[in-house]
Amino acid sequence: MTAKVALVTGTSTGLGLATSIHLAKKGYKVYATMRNLDKRVALDKEAEAQGVSLSVMRLDVRDTATVQQCVDAIMEQEGRYTYI
């Protein structure tokens, strides 16, 4: 069975970070996105502590071009995605 795929935005802190970790623990292949990849330290630490892996990508929900680039890259790699 192929793992479900999730794209989660705002994953450098708070709800986005927690959602990414939760979904990864539930078996989803998680694409964790944030505007500034320099802020991924907390996400990386929590993923390591929880024993999960995430694919971290840049995406700014205010910038249509970065949204499209991110979705296109995921679609190319996965061929599908799940909205949550």
Extents of the domains making up the chain? 5-78
3-state secondary structure 13-80: CHHHHHHHHHHHHCCCEEEEEECCHHHCHHHHHHHHHHCCCCEEEECCCCCHHHHHHHHHHHHHHHCC
CATH of domain 5-78: 3.40.50.720
The string of pLDDT tens digits covering residues 19-54 is: 999 999 999 999 999 999 999 999 999 999 999 999
Q: What is the pLDDT of residues 49-72, one digit of tens each?
A: 999 999 999 999 999 999 999 999
